[in-house]
Chain A
Amino acid sequence: MAEQATQQAEQGAERTPQWAMAIDLDRCTGCEACVVACASENNVPTAGEDQAAMGRTKHWIRIDRYYEGEFPDIKVKYRPVMCQQCDEAPCEPVCPVNATYQNAEGLNVQIYNRCIGTRYCANNCPYTVRFFNWFAPEWAEPLNLQLNPDVSIRPSGVVEKCTFCAHKIKRAKLDADADGRDLADGDVQPACVQSCPAEAMVFGDMSDADSKVARQLGSGRAGQLLESLGTKPRVFYLEKAD
């Protein structure tokens, strides 16, 4: 997909952006600002204590944290994990109704109204970033006033996940169109990226060699989560430099 886009650019055709994210683990502090920013941006409902005890919380983005070593030589390894927007996504071929597919810009798109809730996709995701709605979400009034009208409320019986803030990509395109210009690097900032206090996350078009994300991928520290599975994620982690 990325190669194809690069070819398009070389041939002078209008380039289709290839969205990717780089997360610098040397900057990330594990503060979870991204987690709340995502919930706020994307109308991610809270499950409550009882459902949480059954493992039914929805965190489109989470901080995985693991202890390594023993006291006093103990370290914490952590990383933000969201849908990795894989080029070879294990979730896609198992969906019997094509509710999830990769679009031309590299996003794993989820069509909620097409989803029939088999949960095959969630079971097949090695990153456990897909969430099934056992119940319709509820917000005690007036918490419903916080809901973002740009993002749909997912009904019960469907699977939901991180979209790379697809609605913000759309808004950035509309704004660029209104200004009569092309999308510029940095125009699109998913909620997690926008929020990150340590500026650990970068989002952009990896087929544009001048984009910040493309430069970070070439930094020599970039790798992918569970790379050996061959899922080809669009989320890249820059390893700590220590």
Chain B
Amino acid sequence: MDRRNFVKLVGTASGGAVTGACGRQAEEIIPLLVPEESVPVGVEQWHPSVCGECSAACGTLARVMASEREIEVDGELVRQKIAAVKKLEGNPLDPVSGGRLCARGHASLQSLYNPDRLRSPMKRVGPRASGQFEAVSWDDAIAEAARALAAADPGRILFLARARGGVRSENIARFLDAIGAPPATSIGVGDFAAEREASTRVFGRSGLPLYEIQDSTLVLSIGADFLGGWASPVLYSRRYGHMRQGRRELRGRLIHAESRLSLTAWNADRWLPVWPGGELALALAIGQVLLSEQIADAPASVVSIFAGVDLEQAAAAAGVPVEAIRQTASELVQASAPVVVAGASMVRQNSADAVAAASALNWLLGCVGKPGGVIPPTETLSLPARQSAFSGDWPERLGQAAVVLVDGVNPAYNAPESQSALAGAETVISFSPFLDDTSAFADLILPDHDPLEQALLEVPAVSPAPSFAAAGEFVAPLYDSRPTATVLSQLAETAERPFEELTVGQAVSTLRSAVGSAGSETSASDFEAEVLRDGGWQGQPSGKPPATPDAVGAFEIASKQEGVVFQAYESPQFGSGSGANRPWLQELPDPTSSALWGLPVEVDPATAAGLGLANGDNVRIRSEHGALEAPVYVNPAAIPGVVSMALGQGHASYGRYASGRGANPMVVVGDARDERTGCPAMGPTPISIEKIAGGARLVQFSRQDRDLPPHRV
């Protein structure tokens, strides 16, 4: 679906369910011997929706067509005509996706139609994490959950949610206000707590800065795998494509610094392999060299953080040669439109500082607020859409909680050490549509609708303009699930602490008042209809000049860890692990290892040779936190001594495609956190590694790592 066709389509579209199929081509009967090109095409409708796979919140279009399914009515199987979603594409009117979509976004269709979705509320009947549940009615489930909430000290109610801004998070906030409980917190996965904290220090406002890489001539990214899933992968992929080949006679260059050859490193003109945790030292070293060059008038608070840096010491801590640092700094100075993209795709114990130092390089380069530079976060939209903030003390609060409510996060998988607290909590209530690692600990599971089955309004983590993506309802729910906002409203009412549930329509009306459409000829209902028809709204960038920072802070460079270390990372297809129950993603080759239906431990060739390891051999990896066993992939691009493993497999419970498959790397990483924000770190963790007999097999799409010469093109 391109912009032209979608605009034409929405002009004539009538909402509601699909009314027929194959009308236009009904006269054609498929003969026995026809080429594919002659098969008649059916009637389709396209409805805006919002992708919920990551915090990018891409606006999407769902292709809806008539379909049918078998359901049981009074003990008999009958066929029911339904409107079914056939495909997801990007919404061309959405400023984030621009009509494009990533692999995870496409595969979110397999969340809607996942065979392991819960069909109704469930009540635990066996021990925690045993997976023994029985179906209960919504009335009984809500009554029981409300009883637990009423009996609990409100201060000991803990709501774990995704860090998203939108109508859903606003309703969670209203619910918690009504029952007198503390605000919800995310668990620090995929919510960019380090980046937000750093932005507050460097740009004076919390949020994710917008990198204008499409207009840059040289991009240096430090720790931000922006093509592989960081922040907003579709938006930045679009911008990357433009940077490379979207301008006449001008091709932007990319230097990428990260501790693994990520997708962004694949695409870089030069990769700077940084020792895990050395990103801060690298940023400081580059800044130190920049100070000696003719550079822009940078704020004194920024200059001071780089002034006293010992270049040799910083380079050694980063594991990057001084000469490579000098060359990078020199190229940045010479570039007409440079920018430094600062992120923590893999959170370290010093990530907030590392991101702050890397972000501050942009002040030295004079590219803050400039074309091709970085736009600091702007003010938030005038929307009732409070975001669930990250609170670093959630593990401690979990250990003391009377009632734990879990929505959209999976602490038992992403923070395995939280399992003992989940096992010991008085009451655990989950809103997951799946029996996943965490909902297996729940006393009650109150399954949410799939995102495609409900009205949504989500504010993207980063957008070229103040914007949100929104969707109305367009397909009927498949099962006896309920939207979580509605369930929260019913829970509060049963507990005699009611609140007013915010609808998407009400949120849009608030926006209309705020942006000044109230006095125009567009009525409130027309404005809402327009927003839902287009799949969202976008305003104008504020254009406010950036504020110079008062104090960015002092930084300490830790020396490089010795020995073999381990790091976990989010892969492009599985994200933080939530993609593992989609068969399309399980059968999508892992970019690094080409593995299917499993993820290996990636070991560098020298370490592998020392241990006598070849592809497919199994190893046991131990740290002080735990151990895992997995097959090995000898990664020719791995930094010697750095063992990596993607998140995705190792779910104790997550349906037929993911349960019991592979190992969870977070078991080895343990509970280290970013020291400033408390955000869970993903390494580096000292480990020992040993070869073991037997074990899981490594299935690869391609076992060939090297091309056979000659290969034209």
Query: Could you tell me which A residues sit within 8 Å of B by CB distance?
Result: 24-27, 29-33, 35-37, 39-41, 46-49, 52-53, 57, 59, 62-68, 70-72, 74, 76-79, 103, 107, 109-114, 140-152, 163, 166-167, 169-171, 174-175, 178, 186, 189, 191, 194-200, 223-228, 237-239, 241-242
Contact = CB atoms under 8 A, between A and B. Distances in A.
Interface stretch (B405-413, B535-543, B548-556, B596-604): B596-604
B38 A47 contact: no
B273 A72 contact: yes
Given A48-B583, A62-B589, A71-B638, 4 more contacts: A29-B237, A40-B88, A71-B636, A197-B100
B89 interface: yes
B637 A76 contact: yes
A148 B64 CA distance: 10
The listed residue with most A CB atoms (<10 A of its CB), out of B32, B638, B707, is B707
Which 10 residue pairs across A and B have the least CB separation, nearest first? A198-B241, A197-B237, A49-B597, A166-B37, A66-B707, A27-B241, A109-B35, A36-B106, A140-B115, A223-B713
A167 B594 CA distance: 30
B712 interface: yes
Given A64-B702, A197-B238, A31 B102 contact: yes
B23 to A, nearest CB: 12
B63 to A, nearest CB: 8
B69 A142 contact: yes
A200 B588 contact: no
B273 A33 contact: no
Contacts of B585: 36
B42 interface: yes
B703 to A, nearest CB: 9
Contact of B227 (A29, A66, A239): A29
Contacts, number: 257
B693 interface: no
A145 B67 contact: yes
A59 B245 contact: no
Contacts of A27: 240-241, 244-245
A29 B586 CA distance: 20
Given A37-B106, A174-B41, A143 B113 contact: yes
Contacts of A24: 241, 244-245
B713 A66 contact: no
Given A49-B596, A52-B587, A113 B106 contact: no
Contacts of B88: 40
Contacts of A57: 587, 596, 701
B251 A26 contact: yes
6 contacts: A29-B241, A40-B107, A68-B707, A103-B35, A197-B237, A199-B242
A15 to B, nearest CB: 17
Contacts of A114: 33
Nearest to B104: A36
Interface of B: 1-2, 4-5, 21-22, 24-25, 32-42, 65, 67, 69-70, 82, 84-90, 99-103, 105-107, 109-110, 113-115, 227-228, 233-234, 237-238, 240-242, 244-245, 251, 261, 263, 266-267, 269, 271, 273, 478, 572-573, 583-589, 591, 594, 596-598, 604-605, 636-640, 656, 697, 699, 701-702, 704-707, 711-713
A170 B38 contact: yes
A178 B88 CA distance: 25
Given A24-B245, A148-B87, A225-B713, A52 B597 contact: yes
A36 B587 CA distance: 10
A227 B572 CA distance: 32
A199 B586 contact: no
A111 B33 contact: yes
B273 to A, nearest CB: 5
A236 B262 CA distance: 26
Contacts of B67: 145, 149
Nearest to B705: A67
Contacts of B271: 72, 74
B636 A67 contact: yes
A113 B21 CA distance: 24
A167 B37 contact: yes
A187 to B, nearest CB: 8
A197 B98 CA distance: 9
Contacts of B697: 53
Contacts of A37: 89, 101, 106
Contacts of A170: 37-39, 41
The listed residue with most A CB atoms (<10 A of its CB), out of B38, B263, B713, is B713
A122 to B, nearest CB: 17
Nearest to A179: B8
A233 to B, nearest CB: 11
Contacts of B106: 33, 36-37, 40, 195
Contacts of B33: 111, 113-114
A29 B237 CA distance: 8
Contacts of B233: 31, 197
Contacts of B1: 194
A7 to B, nearest CB: 23
A67 B267 contact: no
A196 B263 contact: no
Given A46-B583, A67-B706, A74-B261, A33 B2 contact: no
A59 B701 contact: yes
B41 A199 contact: no
A149 B210 CA distance: 40
A195 B699 contact: no
